[in-house]
Amino acid sequence: MWIYAQHAQNISITGMGTISGNGVAFMGAELDDSYELKPVTTFDPRPHVITLTDVRNVVVRDVTIRDGAYWTLHLVGCDGAVIDGINLLNNLKIRNGDGIDLDHSRNIRIANCHITSGDDCICLKNRRETAQYGSCHDIVVTNCVMTSRSCAIKIGSENMDSIYNVLFDNCIIKASNRGLGIQNRDEGTVTDVVFSNIMLDCRLWSDVWWGKAEPIYVTSYPRANGNHKDANWRFPKGQLEGRCGQVERIFFQNIVATSENGCFIGGDTDDKVRDIHLSHVTLYLKKSTTYQGGIYDKRPCRGEGFVTDKVYGLYVEKAAQVTADNFVVRDMGVDYGGAVNRPLQQE
């Protein structure tokens, strides 16, 4: 890490200065829409820019943080943080280049930020390595503008505890691979989350980035077995196969989206993902790249990582109690299969 603190309180990083992580220096060759990752043996040498662990009362305000090589602002087990008015400007070609990661943290307010990030702009998670810090909850994000080649706003995929009481409101998302995502891949739960008053546009990028331009994405699938960073070593100790927890009471209200693909909701059983509500959601389906459409991305997961079908406004694989109230889809030049791929409850 470039800047690090642990078991502390009352830390502020403020002012109009710039903190740079010199991220490209840690990358391999430049590709069309990403950089190659250098080979990793026993550890990944890319540094985080700022990591604060078990810190109470954090303020990060007005600074510019740029060019991270890995996660940029990582709060682990923090209680009480205000992140306000920052510019977080990462190179869009750097994989794993997250913007803000809230990890086992609580009572957090993020507002008035501009974030560009190759990977997730804002991500909530509970990593197994820091399980002692408990759940992630009571989070408010508002008045932010974001661009990502992965998922602009994401919950997961690492979640071995619980994430709850979360509000994302009054934000703009531009040119992202996925807009609003819940990607639960461990035994933890995600409940009581509201996404409201959001404008977003999504487009397709290559397969090195997770996502297939889904503007709204709510999923819970177990991780795959395998010998890579998202497989066996992430399972609970002594277990050889992963499992995934409940995702429920998720609300999308007043969302306007333009995308090459529709929304995706799914889980590994019929009731793992339930009580999902879309109210006053308008989706304009518009082709903007030459990448193949009609694909939904379930990675990382056990079994097949992609679902191939027509482009629907809303594709539901397995879920219970999905309701749509004023869910409007407009075809702007996509091979369009229909508003939804199966009957939903209407309100």
**pLDDT tens digits, 194-226:** 999 999 999 999 999 999 999 999 999 999 876
Considering the chain, what percentage of its residues have pLDDT values greater than 90?
87
pLDDT for 335 = 83
pLDDT of 347 over the 80 cut: no
Q: Which residue blocks in the chain are alpha helix, DSSP H?
A: none
pLDDT for 339 = 92
CA distances from 180 to 127, 155, 195, 218, 251 (A): 20, 9, 8, 8, 11
Q: CA 281, CA 207: separation in Å to the nearest integer? A: 27
Tens digit of each residue's pLDDT (9 = 90 or more) over 131-152: 999 999 999 999 999 999 999 9
Q: Give the architecture-level CATH label for domain 3-346.
A: 3 Solenoid (2.160)
pLDDT of 17 over the 90 cut: yes
Q: How confident is the prediction for the chain on average, in pLDDT? A: 94
Q: CA 115, CA 108: separation in Å to the nearest integer? A: 17
Q: What DSSP character marks residue 45?
A: -
Alpha-carbon dihedral angle through residues 100, 203, 157, 137, given to the nearest 10 degrees: 50
Angle at Cα 261 formed by Cα 173 and Cα 179, nearest 5°? 25
Q: State the pTM of this model.
A: 0.96
Q: CA 104, CA 186: separation in Å to the nearest integer? A: 14
pLDDT for 228 = 53
Task: Tell how far CA 43 is from the center of its chain.
Answer: 24
